[in-house]
Amino acid sequence: MTVSDEMRYRIERDSMGEMQVPADALYGASTARAVENFPISGLRFPRAFIRALGLIKLAAARTNAELGLLSEEKARLIAEAAQEVADGRWDGEFPLDIFQTGSGTSTNMNANEVIATRAAQIAGGGRPVHPNDDVNMGQSSNDVIPSAIHVSAYLEIAEQLLPAMAHLQEMLERRAAETDDVVKMGRTHLMDAMPVRLGQEIGGWAAQVRLARERIEATLPRLAQLALGGTAVGTGINAHPEFGSRVAAVLAELTGLPFREADNHFAAQATQNTATEVSGQLKTYAVALMKIANDLRWMNSGPQGGLAEIALPALQPGSSIMPGKVNPVIPEAVMMVCAQVIGNDVTITVSDQAGNFELNVMLPVIAYNLLQSIQILASASRVLADRAVAGFTVNREAIDDVVEKNPILVTALNPIIGYDRAAQIAKRAYAENRRIKDVAAEMTDLSPEEIDRLLDPAELTRGGIKGGGSAG
């Protein structure tokens, strides 16, 4: 090692021997080995996951001190350093690629080393805390990383996703109420159908969001179960029998969320079924958002050659060559988010299958994809609510014109004149580009008053069979 190298690196030792580590790094030899071994993607664990690791290490230190296994001074040093990790002060000290050892051992050791080094700095020097013996006391990567997945996902869902979904639902409900007097063309198979109120259509979107939120909330009791206490294979070797329940209780106190020890440690470590369940519900929400975004794009299409039922807010120029063109950029961005989440679900599903005997070995990629899905769905929900739903305007004139000429309105006459006669009226009205009411007046014995009552578009959106009159 040259003099220059000595200034830039220090020598650290682990069970495999010596390793050069950047001189100012808080991490040690195990992390440096993993940096060297996995130069694969440049993708890093997100902030939410590092936060969860810090909270777990803090809770573990407090628990081990309460159990009389760790000195109060060591616990204090670990807890202070771990809190800094949880708070995001040392995110730059977590350089590892998510494509690494499938248990996430490298990242668990990364946390142990950073906390131990930082504890030494807080103590004023020396090595008062050992990364394995003290920071990792009562733990294994095999129960820490699955627990960090659950803790980080629960926190992100509770703090980010569910509030964003509630915001979108409320915005949709508000716009549904504001537009409930607008009667528009219903469409099935992208073809003209019976009329609906715009408020009913938007209310359907709001219900999709509400149901998706309820589905996600239904997974939380299982996400609250933590693998901590199972250590290497689920038996709890080297951990106090009360460690799992106590550390979960401390995490519950720290976060205000109902974390508890897993009902079965072997299932908690060998599988990621709960992550797959949560991802499946995130995918379901993505499918709902995709439908809403697509409907908004269709309704906004035009302004001359499309439906032109609404006008989304004009946010930016839509073309580098066509002046004046404005595109539905927010729904398009949301749809890309949805596609990503659906793809993430496939990755998580395939990864969950990679549990052999006592351990799943694709934990880092599950963590990354699950947390990304939560984060981008939360952001997309707020953007869709605030930059598309809140500000669209309704083109009432265009909507009214289409509804008046809709030949499918004749469906309301089926109980009175029969399907076949109604079909004849519809075909003639379409062929002659005339209002269905005018053609019905010529082809039936119904009075103009009866036709107006029976074919009132607004009344037709309220359901029920309209009777009266006789077939002509």
- Bin 310: left if φ > 0, else alpha if -120 < ψ < 50, else beta: beta
Single-letter amino acid code for the residue at 89: R
CA 345 – CA 54 distance, rounded (Å): 26
- Strand partners for 36: none
Task: Quote the CA–CA distance of 436 and 420 in Å, as a whole number.
Answer: 15
| Amino acid (1-letter code) at residue 60 | A
Q: How far apart are CA 416 and CA 431, in angstroms?
A: 23
Residue linked to tokens 């080995």: 33
CA 223 to chain centre: 15
Place of tokens 């628990």: 63
Q: Which two tokens stand for residue 158?
A: 């509770």
Strands (E), 189-320: 191-197, 225-226, 260-261, 310-311
Q: What are phi and psi of 15, to 5 degrees?
A: -65, -15
**Smallest Cα–Cα separation from 393: which of 178, 187, 167?**
178
Q: Which 3 state secondary structure label does DSSP give 259? A: coil
Q: Which residues are catalytic?
A: 189, 319
